[in-house]
Amino acid sequence: FFADMEGGSWQTYIDANLVGSGQVQHAAIVKLADSSLCAISADFGLTPEEVEKIVTHVKAGASPEAVSDGLTVAGIEYEVQKVERDVMFGRSRALNGLSIAQSKQCLVLCIGPADMPAEGGYMVCEGLRDYLLCIGF
């Protein structure tokens, strides 16, 4: 499936649907199978180690460690505030919102701007995840 979506198509989801919404400052789409990036927004300093840790926590069902220790995303610590079946929400000290939504084959990771309500970013992140589920991802 991913071979059909690599390159421009995945990047379009980031640029048009996530960052282009105005509700998301930074975003990435990550393959669950191998923690590789399908696409990432410009200037998002997400490291491979951070991606691996996030994927590990998600595969473990958002482990208690993720909730108690938080997550580091692009060098910024986020307190995980809510964990649902396939979604995690968090906040940084600067009040940026973090949302991570899991589809069958990938994660949609979004960081919202500090000057906007986090709910908008959450909804955009979950919306793309829902679309990916509908098309088999």
In 3D space, the residue among 104, 130, 113 whose CA is nearest the CA of residue 26 turns out to be 113
Name the amino acid, one letter, at 109. L
* Confidence (pTM): 0.87
- The CA distance from 121 to 22, in Å, is 9
pLDDT tens across the length of the chain (137 residues) = 343 444 458 999 999 999 999 999 999 999 999 999 999 999 999 999 999 999 988 887 766 566 677 889 999 999 888 887 788 888 888 888 999 999 999 999 999 988 888 788 899 999 999 999 999 99
Domains plus CATH for the chain? 2-134 (3.30.450.30)
SS (H, E, C) 25-66: CEEEEEECCCCCEEEECCCCCCCHHHHHHHHHHHHCCCCHHH
- The CA distance from 33 to 11, in Å, is 19
Name the amino acid, one letter, at 8. G
Cβ atoms within 10 Å, residue 73:
25
